Amino acid sequence: MFRRLLFTTLLSFLLIACSDTPGPTQWRFALEEIQGSVQDAYAQRFKARVEALSQGRIQVIIYPYGTLGTSAQITEQVRSGAIQFAFASPGHLGAVIPETQLFSLHFLFSDDDEVNRRMLKSSPTLYGPLAEAYREKGLALMSVVPEGWMVWTGNRPLRTPEDFRGFKMRTMVSPLLVEAYKAYGASPTPMPYSEVYSGLQLNLIDGQVNPVFAIEEMSFHEVQTTMIFPRHLPFVATVIANPAFVAGLAPEERAMLAELKEELDDYIFEVQERYNRERLEKIRGAADVEMVTLAPAQRAVFRRASEPVRERYVELAGERGGRILEAFIAERTALEHAGKSD
């Protein structure tokens, strides 16, 4: 009797397990940043909206930095289709897609944040020829996302290129970033994000560069005495997806992603501004960090020193890279002039 009951129970468990009541489709989204970051805010909102709009048919699983490996490994997982979505910072992707190193060129963006917001949201150059370069390397470019102006940190102020002499500046791993800091006379030291804190602590590097929110959440300010605000480059990340996955989506799912891109672009612009503002206050309250804002004349010296790096970009990114750079500058200039005549 007991044996028959056990058999029937096991059989019903097996039938339930094998029944074809479908569970939700899972979309995996990997981050290059930890929980509480700008990328996390983007992915959390993406998850909430996708799950609501699909009425639970799609479930989004978020993998914060540290769960799936370095930026390069995450990108590879998107390319292979193991995960569907990820953030990929051009600062790490440049060795694979040289054209994306456009976002590593200092003093290329406008001083006007509204111009930059509009460029990143809908520039025909970024979503045209740059997206084509991503496609050729097996990645779909879904969006280009701002994360805030980059700030240098060190144990001394960096006000002139002379201050950079012999300075071991940690950079992300794209080749052009190395050139960018060599142009100031520094000794650039590329390394993954996860090694920066210990690198600073052990004096393997003298400084690093990142937006304020990241400096705070990665605790870099605890092992540095000085934050320098040069407004030379906003941190830009790209959202990538597996192209075969995107091509296989139903038309209404693709339409949902296109709509969400617009919505999330506006959302994340506001979030990154708030996170950078709030965390600067947090750093001021928690640590005795010297804050140095470069004056226009000091920025002009760095701007001049950075100019030859544009030629290097064209050498690395080729003819299409050259066209992307020219078109980007033309678009930016047109938006700046339009803004002045409003």
Residues near ligand 6CS (CB under 6 A): 32-33, 71, 89, 92, 147, 172, 193, 210-211, 214, 235
* Eight-class DSSP state of 259: H
Pick between residue 193 and residue 269 the one whose CB is nearest to ligand 6CS: 193
Minimum separation from the CB atom of position 85 to ligand 6CS (A): 15
Q: How far is the CB of 214 from ligand 6CS (least distance, A)?
A: 4
The C-alpha atoms of residue 32 and residue 210 are separated, in whole angstroms, by 13
User: What is the rounded CA–CA span in Å between residue 230 and residue 292?
Assistant: 9
Nearest-approach distance from CB 56 to ligand 6CS, in angstroms: 31
270: helix, coil or strand?
helix
Q: Which is nearer to ligand 6CS, 193 or 313 (CB)?
A: 193
For ligand 6CS, the closer of residues 205 and 335 by Cβ is 205
Is residue 191 within 8 A of residue 170, CB to CB? The reply is yes
- When CB distances to ligand 6CS are compared, the closest residue is 193
Which residues touch 46 (CB under 8 Å, ≥6 apart)? 29, 60, 85, 260, 264
Nearer to ligand 6CS, 181 or 193 (CB): 193
CB 269 within 8 A of CB 117: yes
Query: Smallest gap, in angstroms, from Cβ of residue 301 to ligand 6CS?
Result: 25
Task: Report the nearest approach of ligand 6CS to the CB of residue 241 (Å).
Answer: 18
With 0-12 CB in 10 A as exposed, 13-18 as middle and 19+ as buried, what is 288? exposed
**Whose Cβ is closer to ligand 6CS: residue 125's or residue 210's?**
210
Tokens representing 188 are: 């650039």
